A and B are shown apart, each in its own frame.
Chain A
Amino acid sequence: MVSGIVSYGVYIPRFRIRVNEIARVWGDGDDISEGLRVFEKSVPDLDEDAVTIAVEAARNALRRANVDPRRIGAIYAGSESHPYAVKPTGTIVGQAVCSSSSFTAADFEFACKAGTAAIQACLGLVGSGDIDLGLAIGADVSQGAPGDMLEYTAAAGGAAYLIGREDLAAEIESFYSFTTDTPDFWRREGMPYPEHGGRFTGEPAYFKHVSSAARGLMERMGTTPVDYDYAVFHQPNGKFPVRVAKMLGFSKLQIEPGLVVPMIGNTYSGSCLIGLAATLDIAKPGDRIFVTSFGSGAGSDAFSISVKERIEDIRCGAPSVRDYIGDAKYLDYAMYAKHKGKLRI
């Protein structure tokens, strides 16, 4: 049964801090921005968290295609910064988008790929015919300890996808996942900031999993990079997605529309899904998009997506990724520390 994306919505907080401002505080050189290929990152407002971001993204998804929220039969919210350890984000999202109470919900966590795992779960329920629409969300207000390398990129944002069988803006043709036990990045229970293995997050983690999932899907489908108009890869920084695209045979032109990390940083569970939304914002009917997420720990989900005619009808129904990127208000490090709760009173 054909299923895919009925609508999508994003939300990116308007506050930004320039990477060079963080480098100024910690005595790192200005070249760190060039090295990471990240120039600024989004920062949540004092009263924003993964729930508020998820709600705004979900409302944008419903508004874009004018979908009745009572059709939603499942809400899966992926994040590694759920504000409650016990109390599902999906319950708050459901009430805030005025869904009926007749839906199943659960919170997902798989580092930066919890959002694509949520899409897969929705595809299963939609494909089996058990539900009409599923709402899959990836949203984070990611954490980076002061002075840690993560602080240069850990950002805030999210995306929501309505998954269904009818009125598709884009068909999800197939997906493939690759998962191993690779401790490249983690956060223990009760700890405020994650830890990571430095360079170990590269070859054995990001590159191995993204390339394995991507190659696995293309082998299964009998496709090659030239069969796709666009590609989106998880964006922990500006270097990794460019390098993995080149390894796999995708061009810079194919990844350019979805490469948002230089302007907003790594939005973790939102990263790949915001990149896909930015690509859908400009894609034409008939275009094909190749998407591969990555979550530390570690795993990757690859998707082959075909854009449908309906994209033209719904595209302007909600703010685009570029709209959010363009609405930026800059903070210095002191205000950033206040926004992120790094000041203990």
Chain B
Amino acid sequence: MTTQAPRFWRSIPQRYNLKGTHCTRCNEYFFPPRNLCPNCRRGAHLEEYTFKGTGTVVTYTTIYNATEFFERLTPYVLAIIQLDEGPRVTGQMVSSPEGVRIGMRVRPVFRILGKEGDRGIIYYGTKFAPQTEQE
């Protein structure tokens, strides 16, 4: 069995805690992290930044026919989410399709993203859930 463990391992900080970067010179945030600011270039000052994970649904689609590793999850919602700091990320919504609408507020949750079958590693990471009024 081939494993994607090294590839997954390298992205653990981003997947678990939405770690990206922030240019303190132009105040732009990057996710996934960039080691070069396209605005400031050589004058950039980049620092590691952990995104809050809260944001807004820009658009979404419902998956009914999924690839092998996701077929048990159907129907599920894949959304483009604008994080409060600015970047847009593609993520899975933890909600029925009826519970998702454009413009709704979301928060991060820790879930299984996928598995390498019954014998391989389990990929964990961030999905998004509708934010309740109290939050």
Chain A residues engaging chain B, CB cutoff 8 angstroms? 45-49, 51-52, 55-56, 59, 83-84, 87, 92, 95-96, 98, 327, 338, 341, 345
Contacts and interface: CB of A to CB of B under 8 A. Distances in A.
Nearest to A56: B110
Contacts of A341: 72
Nearest to B96: A329
B109 interface: yes
A47 B111 contact: yes
13 contacts: A47-B112, A47-B127, A48-B112, A49-B122, A52-B111, A52-B112, A59-B110, A84-B122, A95-B16, A96-B16, A96-B110, A345-B71, A345-B72
Q: Which size bracket describes the interface of B in this complex?
A: 10 to 19
Output the residue of A49, A52, A56, A98 with the most chain B CB within 10 A.
A52
Contacts of A338: 72
Nearest to B112: A47
B7 to A, nearest CB: 16
A59 B53 CA distance: 14
**Which 4 interchain pairs have the tightest Cβ spacing?**
A47-B112, A47-B111, A55-B110, A96-B16
Contacts of A48: 111-112
Given A46-B73, A84-B122, A92-B124, 8 more contacts: A45-B94, A47-B112, A48-B112, A51-B124, A52-B111, A55-B110, A56-B110, A96-B16
Output the residue of A46, A48, A345 with the most chain B CB within 10 A.
A46
B17 A98 contact: yes
- Decide if the interface of chain A is mainly helix, strand, loop or mixed: loop
Contacts of A87: 121
Output the residue of A47, A51, A338, A345 with the most chain B CB within 10 A.
A47
Interface of B: 12, 16-17, 50, 71-73, 94, 109-113, 121-122, 124, 127, 132
B124 A98 contact: no
Nearest to B121: A87
Contacts of A95: 12, 16
Nearest to B126: A96
A52 B72 CA distance: 18
B94 A52 contact: no
A338 B72 CA distance: 8
Contacts of A56: 109-110
B16 A45 contact: no
Nearest to B122: A83
A96 B13 CA distance: 8
Contacts of B113: 47
Contacts of A345: 71-72
A157 B127 CA distance: 19
B109 A96 contact: no
A84 B12 CA distance: 18
A273 to B, nearest CB: 19
A189 B124 CA distance: 24
Contacts of B94: 45, 47
Contacts of B112: 47-49, 52
Contacts of A55: 110, 124
Contacts of B72: 46, 338, 341, 345
Contacts of A49: 112, 122
A98 B14 CA distance: 12
A267 to B, nearest CB: 18
Contacts of B110: 52, 55-56, 59, 96
Contact of B111 (A45, A59, A327): A45
Contacts of B132: 327
Output the residue of B73, B109, B121 with the most chain A CB within 10 A.
B109
Contacts of B111: 45, 47-48, 52
A46 B93 CA distance: 12
Contacts of A45: 94, 111
A96 B18 CA distance: 10
A327 B124 CA distance: 24
